[in-house]
């Protein structure tokens, strides 16, 4: 199995989050691509994950970022904005979890149709929408996407015991 492959459940989670309405206004989040199928959602995510060697946990974190944005932000997650929001969420998840972080130029090469300047602008707005809170509780990550959730849960408990939390 490809360690950088996204799961069907993860793609369905993103697909279900997309509002089917068309946004009334155009912003820097709006891209030309209008998502209509699961395959159209999966392909760019899989390309990004393979090129950046991202694991499924990063996609889970990105999904949680999108949920947070959807629940309390002015940014809409619609057919016109899903692509850019998902790519920025993935980029942020990579930055938050990797010891060695790729440069904007590297991310721009992995993401079709986005320049370094646009990525920086979108990242700033995304972080502002998250109120710069990029920490994701393990319990917030989708349980059904991980066969080894119990192992993560056990490691989390052991770490909390060590830190006396």
Which residues contact residue 69 at a Cβ distance below 8 angstroms, ignoring those fewer than 6 apart?
75, 77, 85, 89, 126, 129, 130
| Domains of the chain and CATH, by start | 8-163 (1.10.472.10)
Q: Is the pTM of this model over 0.85?
A: no
Cα distance between residue 6 and residue 120, in whole Å: 25
**Under a CB-based contact definition with an 8 Å cutoff, are residues 81 and 30 in contact?**
yes
Q: Which residues contact 99 (CB under 8 A, 6 or more apart)?
A: none
**Is the separation of the CB atoms in 48 and 5 below 8 Å?**
no
- Contact of 107 with 120, CB cutoff 8 Å: no
Tens digit of pLDDT for each residue in 98-147?
A: 877 778 788 888 888 888 888 888 899 889 988 888 888 776 665 544 54
């Amino acid at each position: 199995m490809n360690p950088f492959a996204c799961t069907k459940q993860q793609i369905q989670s993103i697909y279900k989050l997309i509002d089917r309405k068309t946004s009334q206004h155009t912003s820097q989040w709006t891209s030309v691509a209008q998502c209509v199928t699961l395959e159209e959602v999966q392909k760019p995510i899989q390309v990004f994950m393979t090129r950046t060697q991202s694991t499924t946990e990063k996609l889970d974190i990105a999904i949680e970022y999108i949920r947070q944005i959807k629940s309390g932000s002015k940014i809409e997650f619609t057919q016109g904005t899903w692509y850019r929001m998902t790519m920025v969420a993935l980029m942020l998840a990579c930055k938050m979890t990797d010891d060695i972080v790729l440069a904007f130029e590297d991310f721009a090469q992995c993401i079709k149709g986005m320049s370094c300047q646009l990525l920086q602008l979108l990242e700033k707005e995304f972080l502002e929408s998250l109120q710069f809170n990029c920490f994701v509780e393990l319990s917030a990550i989708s349980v059904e996407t991980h066969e080894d959730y119990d192992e993560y849960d056990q490691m989390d408990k052991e770490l909390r015991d060590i830190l006396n939390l």
